Amino acid sequence: MTSIRTSVWPALLAIFILVAGCSGTTQSSVAPVASAAASVPARATSSASTTSQTPAPSRIAVLDGEAWLLYAWYQPGKEIKDVFLARSDGTDAHPIVGDVPGEHTAPSWSADGAHIVFVVRDPPTSGGSLWTANADGSGATLLFAHGDRCAEAFHPAWSPDGKLLAFVCYVDDLTATVQVLDPVSMSIKELTRVAWPEFIDNQPRWSSDGRTIAFDTMKWDQTNQFPIGSLIATVPAGGGNVHRLTDFASFASAPDWSPDDSVLAFNTYDLGNVHGTDQPSNVYTVAPDGTNVRQITTASTDGTMRIGLPRWSADGSRIWVSVTREGETGPSIAWIDPLTGALHELPLEGKGPRPRPLP
């Protein structure tokens, strides 16, 4: 039985290319896709029509109360990703943590917006190590190197009180877990585990009260060549039973809690792992008990457009997303009005925009 990651991982380590998102398709013509820590398309040259912002050459001050977006993408001429900051209108886009060697990806904010956490992949920690830094990218510090506890450490997310860190720990080639790390004691607690053909492929997300963690799970076909579904689920942050909000047929992924925890946003037919499908990829919301599924966007009408990786703003007025279209070199950053579903795209290329939490 061929591993999802071992079938493509050596080549990906050699070039450190882009990490894909999750979800699946039922078409067997799709090329093999690996886990979020490994599956990536080759880097294409940026298109002037989709990216008008040039990364700033030096650090820009990130002041208290300022709205910023955190995301991962490429600097011109580079084959590995960097972590970027940009203002909420797309201006002042610039890479950060450039003094840390390796590829930088999967960034996320602390709940107070004062710090970030991100993944570094380099030869010493090819499976991914977790780093923290100040909001402007200064003071980068290694927090957790995967070592013998995880073959790969990926998709970190701080708890609302800043005391714990949830992340995806790939125990081995066929086993994925959601773990919670205590950075003081360096102890980790496993919340849930899935084994091939199931796989966890995006960032776990804490509810604002810190009691529940949402995550997604994808399912591969028996030949390990293409995903055949994905679902979203929740698990108590202290441990307990997993509650599946959708089934695999929903192709749901990338859940994120609204600020009041009343609903979770998610997308269908994710950006990275679902290829060769004519199904639309839109954003929905669902109640924490799995009821009241509501479609938010209607812009995607077929497989040529994907809207994914939703992330709520702190005030609930926007849902930030990445948008991909057939023939374009990379995703654009956009936001959705959760009431009307209107999509507003910025002239900025990047994946997985995370709005800065503000007081």
**10-residue averages of pLDDT along the chain (359 residues):** 37 34 33 33 34 51 96 94 97 95 96 96 85 96 86 95 96 93 94 96 96 96 86 97 97 97 95 72 97 97 93 97 89 97 96 92
At 58 the pLDDT is 54
pLDDT recorded at residue 15:
33
Positive or negative CA dihedral for 244, 226, 157, 177?
A: positive
Taken in order 318, 322, 356, 20, the sign of the CA dihedral is positive
The C-alpha atoms of residue 269 and residue 276 are separated, in whole angstroms, by 11
Q: Give per-residue burial for 234-250: e unless 16+ CB within 10 Å, then b.
A: bbebeeeeeeebbebeb
pLDDT of residue 59: 73
Tokens standing for 29? Answer: 């013509």
Closest by CA to 167, choosing from 128, 195, 133, is: 128
Torsion of CA 20, 116, 188, 10, to 10 degrees: 30
User: Hey, what are 149's tokens?
Assistant: 């506890």
Interacting residues of 64 by C-beta distance below 8 A, sequence separation 6+: none
Query: By three-state DSSP, how is residue 198 classified?
Result: strand
Closest by CA position to 310, among listed 339, 276, 261, 271: 271
- Residue 22 is predicted with a pLDDT of 37
Domain ranges of the chain: 9-59+66-355
The answer to whether the predicted template modeling score (pTM) of the entire model surpasses 0.75 is: yes
- CATH number for the segment(s) 9-59+66-355: 2.120.10.30
Nearest to 72 by CA among 97, 52, 48: 97
